[in-house]
Amino acid sequence: MNEIKICTAGDSSLLIEFGQEISPEINAQITALVRMIKAQHIEGVTDMIPAFASLLINYDPRVVSYAGLRARMEKLLKLEISGEASESRIFEIPVCYGGEYGPDLQNIADHAGLTTEEVIQIHSGKDYLIYMLGFLPGFSYLGGLDERIHTPRLANPRIRIPAGSVGIGGSQTGIYPLDSPGGWQLLGMTPVKTYDPGREVPILFEAGDYIRFVPVAEEEYLEIKKQVDEGTYQCVIHQKGV
């Protein structure tokens, strides 16, 4: 068992460090703890920021003191935090690969010494764990990109990458939640809005969930896009292990 350390981050936040490495097991412990804290409605907790190997908890010291919350967390951490993320969901994200949707697909294939079809097959062939969200609203740090398609960032970043772009940056892959500058190599685009401030749930997924990229042809992409714009599209979600 990794050593868990609780420390202060000022008078209104507490940091729980689960170790100094990035691994799915550690991340699953954090996800499980976040779910327990949410389920128990612990008084005074105002916000939580789960990250790769830590959890920052913001709290209101008018309601609970550092010592009080720390004791509460120590008690929770003593419970068996299982690495089984049984409540995790898998989100199917349709992606139209290549062409104008993924201008760097050929680059990625050339770099890997593979065909574009092989790159698509590898990229869409597994479920990616969302380790954390940060940087931009809904920007997911995904783990587990196949080494064969690791691709360096563009030497000259683009000024504007449209929302929905799916890219690879080094050993990471992800979806741009909103228009943003960036240096990732783009291999496709999804019509699904992973972030929509007007939606009841603005961000589709949470840390601990999984993303599965599903290749779609352009016609299907356009059809889904139409449904998304009309607000009728429902993202396909599986329960992990089902």
Partner 1 sequence: MGFRVLKGGMLTTVQDLGRTGYQSQGFSVSGVMDVRSFKIANLLLDNPENEAVLEFTLMGPSLEFTSETIIAITGGDFQPRVNKKPVKMYTALYMHKGDVLDFAGCRTGSRGYIAFSSYLDIPVVMGSRSTNIKCGIGGFKGRRLKDGDYIGFRIKRRYLPYFLSRSLDLDEFDYDEVTLRVVMGPQEDVFTNAGRETFLNSEYTVTSDFDRMGCRLEGPFIAYKTTADIISDGIAFGSVQVPSHGKPIVLLSDRQTTGGYAKIATVISVDIPKLAQCKTDNKVRFKAVTVEEAQQLLLDEVAGLNELRRQIYQPCREVLECRLVAKRLSKLFQ
Residues of this chain that bind partner 1 (CB under 8 A): 7-13, 15, 17, 20-22, 34, 46-56, 58, 61-62, 65-67, 132-139, 177-178, 197, 202-203, 206-207
Which CB, 38 or 226, lies closer to partner 1? 38
Distance of closest approach, residue 163 Cβ to partner 1, in angstroms: 12
Pairing of strands 89-97, 210-215: parallel
Distance of closest approach, residue 221 Cβ to partner 1, in angstroms: 25
Amino acid, single-letter form, for residue 232: T
Which CB, 9 or 237, lies closer to partner 1? 9
DSSP state, 53? Answer: S
Distance of closest approach, residue 220 Cβ to partner 1, in angstroms: 28
Which CB, 134 or 144, lies closer to partner 1? 134
Distance of closest approach, residue 111 Cβ to partner 1, in angstroms: 26
In whole angstroms, how far apart are CA 29 and each of 17, 68, 225, 230? 11, 22, 36, 38
Question: Which residues share a beta bridge with 5?
Answer: 17
Distance of closest approach, residue 25 Cβ to partner 1, in angstroms: 15
Which CB, 103 or 137, lies closer to partner 1? 137
Pairing of strands 158-161, 180-182: antiparallel
Q: Which two tokens stand for residue 19?
A: 């170790």
- Integer Cα distance of 57 and 212 in angstroms: 29
Number of Cβ within 10 Å of residue 176's Cβ equals 25
- Integer Cα distance of 189 and 199 in angstroms: 21
What does the buried/exposed string (b/e) look like for 201-231 if buried means 16 or more CB atoms within 10 Å of the residue's CB?
eebbbbbbbbbebebbeeeebeebbeebeee
Which CB, 37 or 122, lies closer to partner 1? 37
Distance of closest approach, residue 108 Cβ to partner 1, in angstroms: 25
Which CB, 55 or 109, lies closer to partner 1? 55
